[in-house]
């Protein structure tokens, strides 16, 4: 009798485990599909998807969490870009116009970091604040961050910088601007989804 109840317990356990695994897998697929579908409306859908899919379990199918995570990914990129730019600005071998352009970039990327931080703080209070007003502020700050990032690349275009420094700066700023653009698209979609 004891062997029989052990077998029953084992069968129930295995069945429960398989059911849980199937449900978890379906949930994961649903979360991943939500991110893929949401990212399809951005300007850079592949970058959007790859930057957010690792966080599918925490985002689930929540538009607010999706926008918030997109902002956090963008802020992390802005911080690393800002640190890299500060280091590059102090490097030797830059001509005076490159030094000036680098300093301008450091300043505008730093402003971008602050605007993204404000956006994250504001969106975290979305459930306790006026939705329309909060979303309007977030849209304004993320748009300003994108403008700042474009200002940096414009500065390097104007001085006709060549070589390694221009390639490095352009690569980092372009990726940051693409992340910011995607975050803004997801924020706009969130703003438009509210009744």
Look up residue 191 and give its two tokens: 């703003």
Look up residue 131 and give its two tokens: 């939705």
What CATH number has the domain bearing residue 12? 1.20.140.40
CA 16 to chain centre: 37
Helix (DSSP H) and strand (DSSP E) numbers for the chain: 7, 0
Residue tagged 């509210």 (tokens): 194
CA 195 to chain centre: 25
The secondary structure of residue 183, as a DSSP letter, is H
- pLDDT at position 25, please? 47
- pLDDT at position 126, please? 85
Show the domain range for 13.
Answer: 2-193
Total domain count, the chain:
1
Backbone angles phi, psi at 28, to 5 degrees: -60, -45
- Rounded CA-CA distance 57/78 in Å is 24
pTM: 0.82
Residue pair 145/81 in contact by the 8 Å Cβ criterion: no
Tens of pLDDT, residue by residue, the chain (195 residues): 555 566 665 565 555 545 444 444 444 578 899 999 999 999 999 999 999 999 998 999 999 999 999 999 999 999 999 998 888 878 777 777 877 888 888 899 999 999 999 999 999 988 888 999 999 999 999 999 999 888 888 876 776 655 677 788 888 899 999 999 999 999 999 999 876
- pLDDT at position 86, please? 86
Length, in residues, of the chain: 195
CA distances from 99 to 84, 150, 169, 175 (A): 14, 18, 12, 22
The secondary structure of residue 42, as a DSSP letter, is S
- Rounded CA-CA distance 54/21 in Å is 19
């Amino acid at each position: 009798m004891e062997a029989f109840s052990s077998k029953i317990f084992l069968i129930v356990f295995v069945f429960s485990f398989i059911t849980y695994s199937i449900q978890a897998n379906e949930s994961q697929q649903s979360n991943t599909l939500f991110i893929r579908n949401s990212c399809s409306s951005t300007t850079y859908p592949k970058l959007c998807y790859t930057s957010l899919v690792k966080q599918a379990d925490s985002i689930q199918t929540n538009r607010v969490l999706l926008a918030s995570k997109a902002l956090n990914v963008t802020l992390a990129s802005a911080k690393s870009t800002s640190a890299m730019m500060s280091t590059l600005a102090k490097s030797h071998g830059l001509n005076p116009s490159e030094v000036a352009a680098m300093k301008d970039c450091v300043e505008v990327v730093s402003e971008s970091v602050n605007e993204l931080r404000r956006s994250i703080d504001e969106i975290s209070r979305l459930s306790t604040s006026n939705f329309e007003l909060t979303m309007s502020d977030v849209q304004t700050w993320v748009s300003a961050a994108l403008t700042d990032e474009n200002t940096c690349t414009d500065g390097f275009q104007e001085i006709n910088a060549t070589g390694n420094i221009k390639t490095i700066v352009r690569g980092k700023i372009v990726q940051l601007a693409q992340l910011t653009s995607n975050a803004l698209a997801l924020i706009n979609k969130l703003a438009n989804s509210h009744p």
